[in-house]
A and B are shown apart, each in its own frame.
Chain A
Amino acid sequence: MSNVHPYVGRATPRVDGPLKVSGLATYAAEFFAEDMLYAAAVPATIAKGRIKRIDLSAAKGAPGVVEILTHENRPEIPEDDAPYLNDMVAVPGSPFRPLRNDKVLYSGQAIALVIADSHENARHAASLVTAEFEVETPTVDVADARSTAYEPPVPRDGIPPPPPPRGDAEATFKGSEIRLKHDYRVAPEHHNPMELQATTVVWEGGGALTIHNKTQGVINPKNYICSVFSLDPEKVRVVSPFVGGAFGMALRPHYDLFLAVLAAIKLERSVRLVLTRGQMWTMGWRPDTLQTVALSADADGKLTSVSHHAIQATSQFEDYQEPIVNWSGLIYDCPNVSLKYELAKLDVSTPSDMRAPGATTGVYALEAAMDELAYELKMDPLELRLKNYAEKDGNDDKPFSSKELRAAYEQGAKRFGWSERSPEPRSMKEGKELVGYGVATGCWEAMMQPHSARAALSADGRLEVACGTADIGTGTYTILAQIGADAFGLPIEEVTAKVGDTSLPMAPVEGGSWAAASAGNAVQLACAALKEELLKAARGLDDSPLANADVAHVTFADGKIALTSDPEKSVSYADALKAAGSERLEAKGDFAPDGEFAEKYASYTHSAVFAEVRVDEELGVVRVERIVSAVAAGKILNLATARSQILGGVVMGVGMALHEESVWDKSLGRIMNANLGEYHVPAHADIHDIDVIFVDEEDKANPMGVKGLGEIGIVGAAAAVANAVFHATGKRIRELPITIDKLL
């Protein structure tokens, strides 16, 4: 680092903050085009069956209506699956495509698209479309489909199936005196970021399209649209600079994108489609999952067997998969492990990744079972976890690239005051309320993906760093600017970060918490390359004071390149640019994860989560008094945005433990609480103190030592709360969320 006060590692305020709070940040539904048309999607009111007739007469006569598309009159679309599989996040199966035919696959599926001259007229006309259906009885509860469960025949790309069994878990369990086996269930959830799913397609003429789509990676909608509609990639640009939260729901292209582009092409006009809040329940979701965990241990608390079986919901047409059970083979050290993962098909939309997909659900069950085991053993739950601490990843039999979970347990326990816990359930009380302490471990894979980035210095002294990744609210803009500022010793105000545009260097979707490590390292590499270029230019000056210097011997700061040993000898960035004969000098950086390293080491982030709850037993009311989350996630680039990620994850974990649940009517197959009034996420009153600790952890999986932490915050949080509820009340609720009725 060349500047005296590096930004990296510090709590640097968000560089995009002022734009966001002043409303100047432009989201997908806020781009305008001349003569733009507005679309509204009409949802199916049944969950399974066939459209017999759609009546458009009233809608057609409504003011401002330009066109109404249905499966009967839509333009031709490819019948093969292949073009629709040009989606980086596609899962095995036949991807959904709107208006394909008369079949209804899930409730809320778009059966018509109304296009009108204003948003209001489009919605009005959409409300006048009626349809008759041939209704079949839907299945929407995974428990009702249990008998049809199957192991996914084709694994999803990037999602490892459970490892083969090691040892003999079943026999060990049978022969054990200390053992338990329980069923756990987490309610289905929907992401519900603040920003609605939306697409604005700008018809540029000559077959060129600029698309603004709510997405976690502009490349994905671009590839998908080009292949589905046979468009020339040179003529399609996707620009989505800001995303109002996504949590995984905007990884895959959704029907708003398909329909808006379909309409724009058909009408040769710009079109915007914004889904309604209710329609946010007609796409990806965190799938309902039935889990069984069996554990056995010796009298000292050493685990002798772990079995974990999950049956997870998916749609009729795709095998959505997430790693639910694998965690149980690597978080603790155990010689006998058996993991099984199955799917069951329901008449629902395909589930999708939702913050720490799989881990949130699976680690909850494992950590609840571990807590039960601790009480069975009359052992401190934290002690039990330390006793079974894994020094290597048992699934892959590899050492960890780094694992400071022990430090996280220690520092978290200290900050929380875990030692003040009295061991017996129901033994702590304050006023009318029972008090409970709970702990859980969190774990998430530290992933990386190939990313390219660009760094450019211009004559006005400004640096631009750019990468086609997305900032879904996590702080990507800020960390990229920090890295650039440090590389050139610039104040961060003189650095512009750019993301969310297919004209920028290639990046995949932003997911799996890999963006900070991948885009961050790519920008770092681009800056290093740019430094070389700039120094080369400076050396080329007549009588250059840096004539023989190489990059190791110079410092980039204060607008100039100086010899580190003799700072008087320097060349300003401006003079170097002049020498290069250019107003702007740019360089690229290509980052790819180190495959050899990954062969040798397993990389994970870890956390220790401690929760204190207060329970009014008589009335079943639970309050989360405080949470301490101690996280080991490698190098922390920005303490402020990193902390915010953990806070958000913890709040979502509290929601999973106590509030969130999408409720289907089993006979109608519809989600009945598809609005934010009745789908409860934690309100301010539900959240008190959340204390975040980042423990020091040095990791070598990538040059910057970054692991990413968008997801680790939620993993373990729900289990810590649920375990605290048990400690308070002696009641083990194995179905989340823990609502009043379950505690009465």
Chain B
Amino acid sequence: MTDTIMEHAAPDLHKGESLVEMEGVGKAYGAIRALEGVNLRVGAGEVTCVLGDNGAGKSTLIKIISGLHAHSEGTLKVDGKERHFGSPRESLEAGIATVYQDLAVVGLMEVWRNFFLGSEIRKGRYPMAPLDIKAMREIADQELQKMGIYVKDINQPIGTLSGGQRQCVAIARAVYFGARVLILDEPTAALGVKQSGVVLKYTAAARDAGLGVVFITHNPHHAYLVGDHFIILKLGRRVLDKKRSEVTLEELTAEMAGGQELAELSHELKR
């Protein structure tokens, strides 16, 4: 399952080196301040988990890194250089790939077309050059086999795969095309226990291959299984920022559940 990742991971990644650094990053949607003063570092071979309640600003944070929205304050550095992404393409070219829970694939398109979407193999470089359909089918087929995703037919619409399989295809695609930083937005949110396990294993494999991973989730248990660093957001601000060695699963869970607020609530509701 990890063959693909090991084979295709960028060779110039060294564990621990900073791939993405954000400092004091903020973002306002008109009058709504979705994010304020957030610092975040993604190191090669590390998983940085971002946790938070609904509306905490998690998606906003990663949309800044992946180029869907530009930040309005602070600095974003990729490989040490300051960047301000104007489109997802720019971010992709910098080696940052994002996988969204619902947005990962185009359901009605064939599995192989999805695998190569945006990075199609062509038989020439001119604008209307034909696709090399045979090669793409073969590669997609092989890569999926290596990952242990058994589809009956590589030509079937990807919507016919299970949620976990689609998620894995999307991750595998990102790695296959040489991503250095992998952003996963709630990859396990809609999955059952077993399928979540597959996605988490895949996440760990990407980390072991030296990629920097940003893992967004509501679930502190999932985060703690793979994370090296944890950030909890609340109403757009950081309320916790700790290394794995400095925090326990219980603390994470308590903080996610509301920490002090929960203690007060339990006091109020005492019977």
A and B: bona fide binding partners: no
